[in-house]
Amino acid sequence: MLTKIPKQFYFFLAAIFILNLVQSSFTQLIFDEAYYWYYSQNMAWGYFDHPPMVALLVKISSFFFNGELGVRFMSCVLSAINIILLWMMIDNPKKNDYIKHFFVLVFSMTLLNAYGFFTLPDTPLLFFTSCFLLTYKYFIKKPTAGLAIVIGIFMAALMYSKYHAVLVIFFVLLSNLKLTTNKFAWLAVAIALFCYAPHFYWLYENDFVSIKYHLYERPNGAYSFEKYTLGFIVNLVAIFGLTFPFIYKALFKTKGNDLFNKALIYLTYGVLIFFFVSSFNRRVQTQWIIIVCIPLVIIAFNYMLQNKQALNWIFRLGLINTILIIYLRMGLAYQPLLFNFYYETHGNKEWAKAIEKEVGDIPVVFENSYRNAPMYSFYTDATPTFSLNNFMYRKNQYSINDSEEQVRGKDVAYVSKYLNNPTFTYTREDDGLYKGKYIANFQSFRKLDCIVADIPVALNSEEDVDLKIYNPYQEDIDLKKLKFAITYMDHYKSPVETLQMTPESTQTGNTLLKEQDTTHFIFQLPKTKKENIGYFRVVISENDLLYGLNGKAIPIK
């Protein structure tokens, strides 16, 4: 229990907590953090890319502090509590003699260290994984209704953190299939589903946009062993740094002699195998496998307490990791330490202020950048901002909220990389030249939905294809303001060619898309000489903007 934890433990914990607070205060946001800060400005039960837990953390942090710490404070708190939870899951009576070894092990894990202050969906995922495992440890000793309710709440909290959390729940269940006959386990499931019901309803109300994106619409490419599978293997090393041989050796040597250790082993191997298989289909991002850090802290430290050689080597190599990590963390806040290497935490406030100085207080529309729009808003207090997405990008939170409505009809500064005759420019050392111009009475209709039956269409055929266009806006839209085109894509849904076409209305003389109504058209696919075409998408340009993302990808025969 907490009362039995030695004072030395709390001294180390306090040092890490203070370090994370200082780091949070003096390090500019990374782009994903700015995006999640944008989430928190309009709290909801779900968002385009993720469930809402990360937004809740930012919102709570903002009650205590302003600026960067107002985004990251709760991450610092959760990471500190997480260390306590990890300690509580270790039963070895010798552990109190090796407190410094435990902290070196935890602090030397690169991503576990980073999520001690960054606010990302993986931050609550790690925390609630520990909460879930600790409660499960008590549950398998003596199942009770009270523990079942707590486990159910933690399962829901896991799923509110990140959809990958389903792996945690699934592999722990797989390690103990007798749970399927345990009435208290079913009570936990019922509680979890009840707590998660608001998010299910949000998904239903938003046409399951998050699920569709993660399953079908995430960017992908042709398989490359170097980028995909080898990249996954490199990630297995990167999350632990120099200690990785001994940590994986601890995993190989650990036996599932009891249900809790069995759960830790199943969870670790399950996640690693799942993403290894996934690496043959897509690039596995490093943070996707970070869940394994939680069981591997427990497995590795227990192994260290039983193996003197592992204890000494992990401690020594962990100290080297720690020194390197501290140096890199200093470089996150003060760029010159990284020898002119620019990371996401460098220069954001500066470029945002430079644009604000140029455009004043008028709204800024960023083309194809859900990253730049919230970062600009965070560092300038400018509202509204909007990310207008074209056919070369992807949808995001700006595609489903009301940000477009907030800039429609206003004079805006339009910032893009695609402009030919810009009024102003600025250069970011990490991302090249950006161009800007002023647009009076800005009009965009990116929520126009082009609906084509999900049936393969023959390329270069002359068959008519039915098209329905739903206008969700509370105004009629003149068809003369719109241009239509077909974007041909390869088999990985990357744009290959965009050709203009003119759909014919099935209603003679129709010149409008009626408000909140569906208009019917027919069209023929424009001829193309391009090869390796796998899909097409109906796209719309309004007021000479680049074509948007108005229809879903339809397969080509």
Alpha helices in 446-499 (DSSP H): none
Same domain, 316 and 354: no
Q: Residue 518 in 3-state DSSP?
A: strand
Cα(521)–Cα(507) distance, integer angstroms: 8
Domains in the chain, number: 3
CATH at 508: 2.60.40
Q: What's the pLDDT tens digit per position in 275-302?
A: 999 999 888 999 999 999 999 999 999 9
- Mean pLDDT within 346-353: 94
| Average of per-residue pLDDT values in the chain | 94
- Mean pLDDT within 58-84: 98
Same domain, 381 and 524: no
Q: Residue 382 in 3-state DSSP?
A: coil
* pLDDT band for position 69 (cuts 50, 70, 90): very high
Same domain, 434 and 477: no
Query: Across the strands, what pairs with 477?
Result: 513
Cα(383)–Cα(8) distance, integer angstroms: 47
Q: Is residue 113 part of a domain?
A: yes
- 3-state per-residue secondary structure call for 85-111: HHHHCCCCHHHHHHHHHHHHHHHCCHH
Q: What is the pTM of this model?
A: 0.93
Q: Is residue 144 part of a domain?
A: yes
Q: What's the pLDDT tens digit per position in 251-269?
A: 999 998 899 999 999 999 9
Same domain, 410 and 453: no
> Phi and psi dihedrals of 317, rounded to 5?
-65, -35
Same domain, 304 and 391: no
Q: Given 278, 303, 335, which residue is the final one in a domain?
A: 335
Q: What is the DSSP string of 427-451?
A: EETTTEEEEEEEESS----TT-EEE
Same domain, 120 and 155: yes
* pLDDT band for position 119 (cuts 50, 70, 90): very high
- The DSSP symbol for 220 reads -
Q: Is residue 518 part of a domain?
A: yes
Cis status of the peptide bond prior to 336, with omega within 30 of 0: no
* pLDDT band for position 201 (cuts 50, 70, 90): very high
- Mean pLDDT within 318-328: 96
Tell me which amino acid residue 302 is: N
Q: Is residue 150 part of a domain?
A: yes
Same domain, 54 and 134: yes
Helix axes 53-64, 69-88, angle to 10 degrees: 110
Short-list 88, 203, 164, 219, CA closest to 553: 219
Q: Is residue 270 part of a domain?
A: yes
Cα(58)–Cα(37) distance, integer angstroms: 6
Q: Is residue 343 part of a domain?
A: no
Residue 2 pLDDT: 46
Cα(102)–Cα(303) distance, integer angstroms: 12
Q: What's the pLDDT tens digit per position in 412-449?
A: 999 999 898 899 998 888 888 899 999 999 999 999 99
**Angle at CA 73, nearest 5°, toward 67 and 75?**
130
Q: Is residue 342 part of a domain?
A: no
CA atoms within 13 A on the CB side of 358: 19
Q: Given 392, 411, 439, which residue is the final one in a domain?
A: 439
Q: Residue 403 in 3-state DSSP?
A: helix
Q: Given 439, 458, 484, which residue is the final one in a domain?
A: 439
Q: How distant, in Å, are the alpha carbons of 161, 235, 250 from that of 266?
A: 21, 20, 14
* Alpha-carbon dihedral 153, 158, 159, 164, rounded to 10 degrees: -160
Cα(547)–Cα(448) distance, integer angstroms: 12
Q: What percent of the chain has pLDDT over 90?
A: 88
Q: For residue 382, give its domain range.
A: 348-439
Same domain, 237 and 181: yes
Q: Is residue 321 part of a domain?
A: yes
Same domain, 162 and 20: yes
Same domain, 216 and 292: yes
* Alpha-carbon dihedral 65, 66, 72, 77, rounded to 10 degrees: 0
Residue 219 pLDDT: 66
Short-list 306, 278, 281, CA closest to 98: 306
Same domain, 299 and 322: yes
Same domain, 181 and 285: yes
